[in-house]
């Protein structure tokens, strides 16, 4: 009888461990980490490979499989838990931020993390998660940027405009400061920030307009050029011949463009970051 008892114990043990293994194989991260999974599920990262904008561009550019290296490293609709947290034993080791972010947010086509390392914000101890997480639930997996959270860009950039009398005539000077803590715009190379300076006539119409684009640009002979707004640096635009076409006022707007292409493209999606006006007709405001 003794051998039967041992056999029962062994069989029970095997069955129990098998059940555990089966259960473990079926458990997913969200079964236990409900809040984190819910918050992450609302993020664009979780759908990075299934967003219409991505799919349209992916198809247009020849359906390059390399895109999924960032948009869905483990397959599926987008980034998954293991893509950042790894495949190791549970519990996973603490993530190293921002290095883990840099794998995709520095390349290809980005320098967000590298520019962050150059910023005063980094020197002051700021973390990526300070601004780019904390959705309504307060969970640290609710990743968001300007395209996903209303008001995200509020107060990030500030314009100042003035007019200086110069020998060649009045010159408008518009300066841009920002506190993004990294290059602005961050994100991929197709995004841009536009400074739109307009002369406004008596009727309130646009007498003239000068556009300045901040973002990545490409020149046939020079290749790619980084013309993003760098952290902790003021950008200055000077514009002359202000009074042409009956301009009475000057309006400067800083506009974030989420879509690639020209400012006036029909499909362009904009959000105004700041706007300032001054009178050109009088030396008194």
Partner 1 sequence: MRYALPFIAIVMVTIVSAGTGLAGGAVTPLSEFGFLIEQVKKNTGEVFVIDVRDRVAYLYGTVTGAVYAGTTPEGYIGDGRGGPVLVITQGDAPAELLEQWEERLATFGHDPIYFLDGGFASWVKVDGPVHLPEGAFAIPGTLPFVIPRGLCELNTPAKVYP
Smaller CB distance to partner 1: residue 39 or 273? Answer: 273
Would you give the binding string for partner 1 spanning residues 32-61, x where CB under 8 A is met? ---------------------xx--x--xx
Name the minimum Å distance from CB 24 to partner 1: 33
Among 45, 161, 255, 273, binds partner 1 (CB under 8 A): 161
What does each C-alpha distance from 175 to 160, 161, 197, 253 come to in angstroms? Answer: 5, 7, 11, 11
User: Residue 82: left if φ>0, alpha if ψ -120 to 50, beta else—which one?
Assistant: alpha
Alpha-carbon distance 214 to 175, whole Å?
13
DSSP structural state of residue 156: T
Interface positions, 257-276, toward partner 1 (CB under 8 A): 259-262, 276
CA 73, CA 100: separation in Å to the nearest integer? 13
Q: 179 near 165, Cβ under 8 Å?
A: no
Query: Mask: binding to partner 1, 204-243, rule CB under 8 A, as x and -?
Result: ------xxxxxxxxxxx--xxxxx---xxxxxxxxx----
Q: What is the DSSP letter of 129?
A: H
Q: Pick between residue 38 and residue 177 the one whose CB is nearest to partner 1.
A: 177
Q: Does 129 bind partner 1 (CB under 8 A)?
A: no
Total binding residues toward partner 1, as defined by CB under 8 A = 80
162 touches partner 1 by CB under 8 A:
yes
Q: Is 154 in the site for partner 1 (CB under 8 A)?
A: no
152 close to 271: Cβ distance less than 8 angstroms: no
**Scanning residues 58 to 77, which ones bind partner 1 (CB under 8 A)?**
60-61, 64, 66-67
């Amino acid at each position: 009888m003794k051998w039967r008892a041992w056999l029962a114990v062994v069989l029970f043990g095997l069955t129990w461990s098998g059940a555990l293994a089966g259960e473990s194989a079926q458990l997913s991260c969200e079964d236990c980490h409900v809040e984190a999974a819910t918050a992450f599920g609302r993020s664009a990262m979780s759908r990075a490979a299934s967003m219409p904008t991505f799919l349209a561009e992916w198809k247009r550019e020849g359906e390059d499989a390399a895109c999924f290296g960032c948009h869905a490293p483990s397959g599926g609709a987008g980034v998954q838990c293991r893509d950042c947290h790894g495949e190791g034993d549970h519990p996973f080791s603490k993530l190293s931020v921002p290095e883990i972010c840099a794998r995709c947010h520095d390349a290809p086509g980005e320098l967000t993390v590298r520019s962050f390392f150059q910023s005063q914000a980094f020197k002051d101890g700021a973390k990526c998660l300070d601004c780019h997480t904390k959705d309504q639930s307060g969970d640290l997996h609710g990743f968001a940027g300007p395209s996903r959270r209303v008001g995200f860009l509020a107060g990030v950039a500030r314009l100042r405009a003035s007019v200086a009398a110069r020998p060649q005539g009045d010159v408008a000077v518009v300066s841009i400061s920002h506190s993004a803590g990294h290059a602005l715009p961050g994100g991929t190379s197709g995004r841009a920030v536009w400074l739109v300076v307009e002369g406004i006539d008596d009727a309130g119409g646009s007498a003239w307009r000068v556009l300045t684009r901040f973002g990545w640009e490409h020149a046939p002979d020079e290749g790619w050029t980084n013309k993003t707004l760098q952290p902790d640096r003021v950008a200055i635009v000077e514009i002359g011949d202000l009074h042409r076409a009956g301009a009475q006022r000057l309006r400067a707007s800083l506009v974030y463009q989420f879509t690639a292409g020209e400012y006036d493209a029909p499909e362009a999606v904009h959000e105004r970051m700041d706007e300032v006006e001054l009178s050109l007709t009088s030396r008194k405001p």
